[in-house]
Chains A and B, each alone.
Chain A
Amino acid sequence: MDPVTRVRAALLPAGLVLLVFAGALTVLATGPLGVAPDALLAAVIGQGSPEAELALALRGPRLLAALTCGAALAGAGAGFQILFRNPLAAPDLLGVSSGAGLGAALALLLGAGAALVQGAAFVGGLAAGGLAVACATLTRSGDGRLALILCGVVAGALASAGLGLVVIAADPWSQLPSITYWLLGSFTRATLTEAVGALIPVGLGAAVLIWLGFRLDILSLGDEQARSLGLPARPLRLLALAAAALMTSSAVAVAGVVGWIGLLAPHAARLIVGERAGRLIPASMALGALFALVIDRLATAFGPAEIPVGLLSAAVGAPAFLILFVATSRRS
């Protein structure tokens, strides 16, 4: 490695973290209840003005939720893309998002409170992912990756069918709006407890994926190469899937179904840091957090009615993805 590359490799992580931090401060400093960064920092250590403390209390949890969910979806997406060597792999690959959506909608139908809805989404997501993995284990195709993708489609389809049933059964006046709103995704609901509650499983999943690092690179070569290189391919792959599903479920449980982050952020990160999992996963998480931040800021930028984050992320993410794709294909 030449010195320039080495310096770049050392500065990049710090730069990405700084970028996310600066983005968070900018978001808090602008918009309704905007507070200057120095006043905010004072509020964080408990010495701030009442306005700053109010702004932090009102907007802090939402900000934390956006950062956590963005990072989680992007990290999980990167993990799936590496594991399956498929650039279209996204966090909902195993049907996790649909499963979480079904869980949340069912809880809303039964009139559960916010915490219970979050819990049901989390369990639903993991159940769908677990179903996909269990079905894939039943098949005996050589490399398990195709089976996993197909079983993920099956689990996702079943969950979507269940979700459709819940939507039909829901009361169109009292229940349907909240279910629809939940499915479109939003960081508005997040309380501090919810945001921290998501941060813990997301941190755990991220730690596992980052530890897997070069082992993920080997898994991306396929099971036969992995076993021939002396790694227990199946247990490691299950561990990676569990970590990514945990991160996705936690994010969907807090924010609802927010697409595109998990697809877009890893592709953008790949342009900056290359394909190695040890770098790609943290870089994707930083960019995902940043993207979620921007989207959430945009959600409140157009007048009093908030635009659902899930809609915005697709509206911004899809064209951005196309631009990235064109840029990458021209580069090679």
Chain B
Amino acid sequence: MSGLRLKGLVAGRGKTFRLPPLDLTVEPGEILALIGPNGVGKTTLLKTLAALLPPIAGAIVDAGAPAWLPPPGAVSAGFSVLHLTALGRAHLRRWSPGLTPDDLDAARGALDRLEVGDLADRPFDRLSSGQQQLVLIARLFVQDAPVCLLDEPLALLDPAHAQAVEAAIRALAAEGRVVIASTHHLPFAARADRVLAVGPDGIKVGAPAEALTPDRIRALFGIEVSGCPCCGQALS
């Protein structure tokens, strides 16, 4: 699978909200964590990468068809988990009369893989946020997009589900996909391949060890932290 290349991409919304231009190459299989304070434009950047918002300037090169997920709890559907998962193959069935048994098999396989196969016949709306998030990531496997853009994939989740979702995100990347995930969960950012920090002083991209130092966290969020998530010390 190809990676993702951004050339002077400016994401923004409305007439005034602009992020600084961004030149970046993300390799296939790489997990890029996107951090920054609330309201700084993380969601706007992700939606621009997902082609849901037009870029103000610059371009996205070689992106393939990106897949995008809103934060846990944002998707609502009354039909079954299996059907929702199989809808990941809709792009292959645009003009067909319906989904095929193959699509259902692919959905079942992906659900089993993330150990939520037993939820297949339940209505999606009846699941917990954590279960819903695992199902939506199973749908990303079914959709098989080369670029996966996740908006706060760990928000609202208990530690066990957060761990399961993080493992699923790693599995997405391990198959050669680009994964870009915004997060406020700094330990997750520390375990990513690179961190893209959007702050008042611009956009910085770097290894987690450089991006998550107490100085940088202070510059980003205006708070003091006593440790660094990279060296095992807990953040206060």
Contacts and interface: CB of A to CB of B under 8 A. Distances in A.
A213 B88 contact: no
Contacts of B51: 227
A59 interface: no
B66 A276 contact: no
B123 to A, nearest CB: 7
B65 interface: yes
A208 interface: no
A278 B51 CA distance: 29
B233 interface: no
A8 to B, nearest CB: 13
A275 B79 contact: yes
Interface string B145-173: 00000000000000000000000000000
Contacts of B219: none
A274 interface: yes
Contact of A213 (B67, B70, B98): B98
A214 B87 contact: yes
B77 A217 contact: yes
Contacts of A85: 76
Contacts, number: 63
Interface stretch (B32-40, B89-97, B193-201): B89-97
Q: Is the interface of B mostly helix, strand, loop or mixed?
A: loop
B144 to A, nearest CB: 11
A230 B90 contact: yes
Contacts of A276: 79-80, 83
B143 A231 contact: no
Contacts of A227: 51-52
B26 interface: no
B141 interface: no
Contact of B70 (A220, A224, A275): A224
B77 A220 contact: yes
Given A213-B97, A230-B65, A225 B88 contact: no
Interface in A214-241: 214-215, 217-218, 220-221, 224-225, 227-231
A211 interface: yes
Nearest to A222: B75
Nearest to B78: A275
Contacts of A214: 83, 87, 90, 93, 98-99
Contacts of A14: none
A227 B88 CA distance: 11
A1 B80 CA distance: 11
Given A224-B68, A230-B94, A218 B87 contact: yes
B121 interface: yes
Given A221-B75, A224-B70, A276-B79, A215 B90 contact: yes
B94 A229 contact: no
B49 to A, nearest CB: 11
A230 B67 CA distance: 8
Interface string B94-136: 1001110000000000000000000001010000000000000
A174 to B, nearest CB: 51
B90 A229 contact: yes
A307 B83 CA distance: 44
21 contacts: A85-B76, A214-B83, A215-B90, A217-B79, A218-B87, A221-B75, A221-B77, A224-B47, A224-B52, A225-B70, A225-B75, A227-B51, A227-B52, A228-B50, A228-B67, A229-B91, A230-B65, A230-B90, A274-B79, A275-B123, A276-B79
Interface of A: 1, 5, 85, 211, 213-215, 217-218, 220-221, 224-225, 227-231, 274-276, 278
Closest 6 CB pairs of A and B: A230-B91, A275-B78, A228-B68, A275-B79, A276-B79, A229-B90
